[in-house]
Amino acid sequence: MSEDVKTPNGIPVIGFGLYALSPEAALSAVTTALECGYRHFDTAQSYGNEEACGIAIERSGLSRSEIFVTTKVTPRNYESGRMLGSVRASLDRLRSSCADLLLIHYPSPWNEVPIEVYLEQLLQVQQAGLARLIGISNFTIAQTDRAVELLGKGNVATNQVEVHVFMQNRPIVDHCRRIGIPTTAYCALARGTVFGAPEAGLGPHATLLDIAHAHGATVGQIALAFLIHEGHVVLSTTTARDQISENLKARDISLTPADMERLRHLDLKKRIVEWPYFPVFDV
């Protein structure tokens, strides 16, 4: 298997996401993912499994320097004076002295806390040596531009947003690309929709299946490979060992320009993650 490919700022382009995993499931899944070769793990304060992630990494026997860990600050810790202590607590749970990447999980709901307040604290956390890289998640174009103003040009390591073959989120992706910010794709397998996609109709799924057959790959691998070829960091989540291993091998698939064009046409602009407190994506 190929070595980890990384973005220019050092984020491994394929990672294991811990969203919606109980501590017990996270401990098992991260242990398996480490055995399969994953070295990038994505958790959050609100997931409740930072400690499980830290224990699995500690028990692996691998050097901490070999592992890339992302965590995210939850909005209840955006208020002035709260973020630094919350990050120290996260690092204690992760059994680490520093996060490789620390993200604002999403903009303050309904702008209850001004963006200046929490982004300035994020910068202070980095300056205190508690986060090597800092970034944002679920930020719109306007919010991303404001983050660049507040954090400094070149200091926004990524914008983590929903991106998958059925929701390619072109406005924010293209904007981030223009200003040099890598995008991280969460829900990269569309919460499993790519495997059957009944509501998407036969056409999109048939295209994925056809390309998968041509490459001797799975539909999931093609969906992930597409995002990697598009320049995204990709996150996927599963507790099944076979699929954990299969997903990692997506980085070895070389899609043709014709494959990529067919896959780009599967964009249904179908958002999966919708919460009333999330910003509306740019269109």
pLDDT score of 3 more than 90: no
Q: What is the pLDDT of residue 202?
A: 57
Same domain, 165 and 147: no
Domain boundary among 125, 157, 189: 157
Q: Read off the pLDDT band of 274 (50, 70, 90).
A: confident
Tokens of 115: 């963006």
Q: Read off the pLDDT band of 199 (50, 70, 90).
A: very low
Task: Tell me whether residue 276 is in a domain.
Answer: no
Q: Encode burial over 255-264: b for 16+ CB neighbours within 10 A, e otherwise.
A: beeebeebbe
d(CA 232, CA 215): 21
CA dihedral angle for residue 6, residue 8, residue 9, residue 13, rounded to 10 degrees: -20
Q: Read off the pLDDT band of 143 (50, 70, 90).
A: very high
pLDDT score of 166 more than 90: yes
Q: What is the pLDDT of residue 53?
A: 98
Task: Tell me whether residue 3 is in a domain.
Answer: no
d(CA 203, CA 233): 27
| Stronger pLDDT, 143 or 3, i.e. the higher one | 143
pTM score, whole prediction: 0.95
Distances (CA, A) of 17 to 86, 108, 128, 280: 21, 22, 26, 23
What mean pLDDT comes out for the span 169-179? 97
End-to-end CA separation in angstroms for the chain:
38
Of the candidates 19, 38, 47, 78, the residue annotated as catalytic is: 47
Q: What is the pLDDT of residue 62?
A: 97
**For the domain that residue 36 is a member of, what is the CATH number?**
3.20.20.100
Residue listed under structure tokens 């070999």: 66
Task: Tell me whether residue 87 is in a domain.
Answer: yes
Same domain, 139 and 165: no
Same domain, 146 and 51: yes
What mean pLDDT comes out for the span 225-242? 97
Task: Tell me whether residue 260 is in a domain.
Answer: yes
pLDDT score of 200 more than 80: no
What mean pLDDT comes out for the span 185-210? 81
- Known active-site residue 47: yes
Range of the domain at 127: 10-157
Number of domains in the chain: 2
What mean pLDDT comes out for the span 75-103? 98
Task: Tell me whether residue 229 is in a domain.
Answer: yes
Task: Tell me whether residue 122 is in a domain.
Answer: yes
Task: Tell me whether residue 275 is in a domain.
Answer: no
**Own/partner pairs for 127-130, CB < 8 Å, 24+ apart?**
128/84, 129/98, 130/84, 130/87, 130/88, 130/91, 130/97, 130/98, 130/99, 130/102
Query: What average pLDDT is seen over the chain?
Result: 95
What mean pLDDT comes out for the span 219-233? 98
Task: Tell me whether residue 279 is in a domain.
Answer: no
Read off the pLDDT of residues 7-32 as tens digits, 9 standing for 90 and up. Answer: 989 999 999 999 999 999 999 999 99
